[in-house]
């Protein structure tokens, strides 16, 4: 984000939301695996002893790293996108639209997967609604002394970004959602 200071506010917001979704999913997965005993990390620690300690570590590491991710994203939203932390309505609008769009897209893509609705319940919804829920409350964890480093003219409607997003969303839902067979 520091190197994108000359970029448009649209690009800076796009980069920040990309970082946010990657950080929240990555850090939230530790917590999810530790609590539910499901997923890749549950398999990784399956043969480690004492097992209860490793599961507890997953939960603690997940909580701590998720908190740090929330603060990093919140600070980035203020500093690099230029949204003052005092403008809660604007912060909420940006984060809520991102959150609900992701939940919809991941669920829609999961519905077309050959595994079906089971995949939506086990993976898409926890991944979208659960992992990304930090976007709904991150405004409360932005340090009070955080101020914008860049001015922001606001993020208005930009039809180029909307058209590109719509095309990529359709590809995500109808191509990647169904799954890609690499070999037979």
Q: Residue 98's pLDDT is what? A: 92
**CB under 8 A, 24+ apart: contacts of 175-178:** 176/109, 177/108, 177/109, 177/110, 177/111, 177/112, 177/113, 178/112, 178/113, 178/114
Confidence of residue 6 (pLDDT cuts 50, 70, 90): confident
What's the CA gap between 99 and 129, in Å, rounded?
8
Please compute the mean of the pLDDT values over residues 88-106 and round it to a whole number: 91
Q: Residue 131's pLDDT is what? A: 87
Please compute the mean of the pLDDT values over residues 43-57 and round it to a whole number: 94
pLDDT tops 80 at residue 15: yes
Please report where in the chains the tokens 């409607």 appear, as a residue. Answer: 157
pLDDT, tens digit (0-9, with 9 covering 90-100), for 138-166: 999 999 999 998 776 778 888 998 999 99
Structure token pair of residue 72: 């990093």
Q: Residue 122's pLDDT is what? A: 73
Please compute the mean of the pLDDT values over residues 66-72 and round it to a whole number: 97
Q: Residue 184's pLDDT is what? A: 66
The rounded mean pLDDT for the chain is 88
Domain ranges of the chain: 2-176
- φ and ψ of 155, to 5 deg: -115, 95
């Amino acid at each position: 984000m520091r190197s994108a200071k000359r970029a448009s506010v649209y690009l800076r917001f796009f980069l920040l939301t990309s970082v946010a979704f990657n950080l929240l999913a990555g850090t939230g997965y530790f917590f999810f695996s530790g609590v539910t005993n499901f997923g890749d990390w549950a398999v990784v620690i399956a043969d480690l002893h004492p097992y209860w300690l490793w599961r507890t570590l997953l939960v603690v590491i997940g909580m701590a790293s998720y908190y740090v991710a929330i603060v990093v994203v919140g600070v980035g939203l203020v500093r690099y996108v230029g949204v003052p932390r005092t403008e809660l309505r604007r912060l909420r609008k940006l984060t809520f639209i991102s959150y609900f769009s992701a939940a919809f897209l991941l669920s829609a893509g999961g519905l077309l997967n050959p595994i079906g609705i089971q995949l939506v319940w086990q993976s898409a919804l926890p991944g979208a609604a659960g992992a990304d829920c930090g976007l709904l409350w991150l405004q409360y964890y932005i340090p009070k002394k955080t101020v914008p480093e860049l001015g922001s003219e606001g993020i208005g409607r930009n039809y180029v970004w909307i058209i590109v997003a719509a095309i990529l969303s359709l590809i995500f839902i109808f191509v990647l959602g169904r799954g890609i067979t690499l070999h037979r």
